Amino acid sequence: MAAPAALQRSVVAPAGRHTASVIFLHGSGDTGQGLRDWIKGVLSHDLSFQHIKVIYPTAPARPYTPMRGSLSNVWHDRYKISNDCPEHIETIDSMCQALTSLIDDEVKSGIGKNRILLGGFSMGGGMAMQLAYRYHQDVAGVFALSSFLSKTSAVYQALKKIEREPPELFQCHGTADELVLYSWGEETNKMLKSLGVATTFLSLPNLYHELNKSELDKLQAWILKKLPE
């Protein structure tokens, strides 16, 4: 199989010596730069660290079934936006291959897998869970903001066979989310916990399908806990 094309990315370099990395995946229809700008707008500054590089890759445009096949920057296709339908495993697996190249680049630059966090917003958080729990069970941790997995997710099947402690999960979800229902996020968390994942689940009252400052402040603190200087 031909190597996947390198993903475009926006990068926030560490202020000092680079000893850890965060790969932060955007939601459907967005870009790496778009997510970085959104976070910058919410925080009034970049999500940045003394020793951690933050990488925002962009998903390549592909036909997206929930948009009647229109091109969209999505990590994979879906049959519909629901936790009650099968995953589009072929496109998920090919994107895991492209994102693995990004992880490999960090490892080649001297960053250990145990110094890399994978996470994202919405579809990006779901993709990060696929990538970590199925292919990179030795990363430092995973974060998922306003995200979910299908009830029959391949992630659950992989965790049933895991022979090591899986990466810790930091998950947040707005109770007023009308696109990715709060109950879908909660159910995902309960299922992962039952399969041995150490999880934090933050309920964000009255938050829709969006990011807010309190959530990003807590994420920043969790990142620093997982990737200390």
Name residue, tokens 């291959």. 97
Q: Strand order in 199-204's β-sheet?
A: 9-12, 52-57, 20-25, 116-121, 141-145, 168-174, 199-204
- 76 flagged as catalytic: no
Confirm whether 88 is a catalytic residue.
no
Catalytic, out of 10, 28, 147, 177:
177
Active-site position among 122, 147, 150, 153: 122
Give yes or no for a contact between 102 and 127, defined as CB atoms under 8 angstroms apart.
Answer: no
> What backbone phi and psi angles, to 5 degrees, belong to 88?
-85, 75
d(C-alpha 208, C-alpha 197), whole Å: 26
Residues 40 and 48: their CA atoms lie apart, in Å, by 10
Ramachandran area for residue 141 (φ above 0: left; ψ -120 to 50: alpha; else beta)? left
Catalytic residues: 122, 177, 209
